[in-house]
Amino acid sequence: MKPMKAADGVFRVTVPTPFAVGPVNIFVVVKENKAMIVDAGPNTEEAWMELKEAFNVLGLKKDNIDAILLTHHHPDHTGLINYFHPDTPIYGHRRLIPWLEKDPAFADQYKNYFRSLSIKMGVPKEFLEYTPTVDEYLKFGGLGSVHTLLDEGDRVPGFEEWQVYYTPGHAQSHISLLRDDGVFIAGDVLLENISSNAIIEPPYNESDEAPYTLLQYRDSLRKCLALPIKSVLPGHGNAYVFQDDLINQKLLEQQQRREKIYLLIKEGKRTTLEIGMTMFKNSWKNQLDLVLSEVQGHLDWLRAEGVVTVNESGGVWFYKTN
């Protein structure tokens, strides 16, 4: 697909992914004689062919890209970094580091964490093969190191008109970029027609508590609501004009889902898996990791509000309403 102009000096290149979410966007930011790409598709030959063709149309050479900025660590956003010149600087948040380095100790910690968490969520042993693994990250994500760390309040080096905002929840490594004229490169925080999961992640230091990703994501949505955003360039889907309603709607839908889960517990559904299987009758098996993240996030929220209690029995968490 030809690159499409998404904003002044920003082109959108859409590349295919092997994931249920469908295609992903790569943004090419050009100014004077510099170019930066924001996100890097999945590590597949098909995605690379699309990006290469877009570079041809834009008159860019892959070895002359000044920087690659990654909004977050998910493999559909990092995979093509290895097709670029190895000296191309990579910008991103510090939480991106272990993913990009494919640190085997971190991968093991992640696997073990999810294995024991899945059991707590009520997933029987024979279902464990459906639960999240890091293999997709290792296979379709890029391998590299982060040269320049970015965090809340930073300006992007060489592209200082873009300000960085830390927007965790969908991913702990997630940053978004706001240009002084209101153009917002959102990553996966503000998707128009796709719901953005607050994906569970282990604590980055083993002594820490795991982050409450749904509550973080709601905070990130509220942060976006307070920014002077005019147009959104999302990680998936078309660019669109920003309206407060989009965020208010997402916040409301989460609240409604929370109520629904509360009622299911009241009706006698007791584990994360039972609730997930009831709510997502047709998709839970194919997307078990996302379903469990989605339900667990709301359960953590209900628990934080003090309206449900959890009791552990036989290694499994059982919920009841207060």
Q: How far is the CB of 76 from Zn ion (least distance, A)?
A: 7
Residues 87, 84: Cα–Cα separation, whole Å: 8
Using the minimum distance from each CB to Zn ion, give the nearer residue, 50 or 188: 188
Residue of minimal Cβ distance to Zn ion? 74
Which residue lies nearer to Zn ion by CB, 199 or 288?
A: 199
Q: Which two tokens stand for residue 54?
A: 């877009």
CB of 188 vs Zn ion, minimal distance in Å: 4
- How many residues bind Zn ion (CB under 5 A)? The answer is 2
Query: Given the complex with Zn ion, which of 52 and 223 has the nearer CB atom?
Result: 223
- Residue 106's Cβ-count burial label (10 Å; 0-12, 13-18, 19+) is middle
Question: Which among 74-82, 123-131, 153-161, 213-221 is the span making contact with Zn ion, rule CB under 5 A?
Answer: 74-82
Cα atoms found within 13 Å of the Cα of residue 280, Cβ hemisphere only: 17
Task: Compare residues 169 and 276 and give the one whose CB is closer to Zn ion.
Answer: 169
Least CB distance from residue 72 to Zn ion, whole Å?
Answer: 6
CB of 317 to Zn ion, least distance (A): 26
State the nearest-atom distance from the C-beta of 127 to Zn ion, in Å: 24
- Span from 47-55, 73-81, 102-110, 129-137 in contact with Zn ion (CB under 5 A): 73-81
* Tokens encoding 205: 């230091």
Number of H helices, E strands in the chain: 9, 15
Q: Which of residues 130-189 bind Zn ion (CB under 5 A)?
A: 188
CB of 59 to Zn ion, least distance (A): 30
- Spatial CA neighbour of 82 closest among 97, 96, 101, 98: 101
Question: Please, which residue, 170 or 298, has the CB nearer to Zn ion?
Answer: 170
Q: Which is nearer to Zn ion, 99 or 280 (CB)?
A: 99
- Check if the beta carbon of residue 64 is closer than 8 Å to that of residue 106: no
Q: What is the Cα–Cα distance from 213 to 254, expressed in whole angstroms?
A: 13
| Closer by beta carbon to Zn ion, 25 or else 131 | 25
* CA–CA gap between residue 299 and residue 14 (Å, rounded): 35
Long-range pairs, 190-195, Cβ under 8 A, ≥24 = 190/221, 190/224, 190/232, 190/234, 190/242, 190/246, 190/247, 191/234, 191/235, 191/236, 191/237, 192/232, 192/234, 192/237, 192/238, 192/240, 192/246, 193/237, 194/21, 194/236, 194/237, 195/250, 195/253
- Show the binding pattern over residues 214-253: x = contacts Zn ion (CB under 5 A), - = does not: ----------------------------------------
74 binds Zn ion (CB under 5 A): yes
Contacting range for Zn ion; rule: CB under 5 A; set: 69-77, 124-132, 158-166, 287-295: 69-77
Residue 75 C-beta: closest distance to Zn ion, Å: 9
Q: Sign of the C-alpha dihedral, residues 86, 14, 132, 128?
A: negative
**Residues at the interface with Zn ion (CB under 5 A):** 74, 188
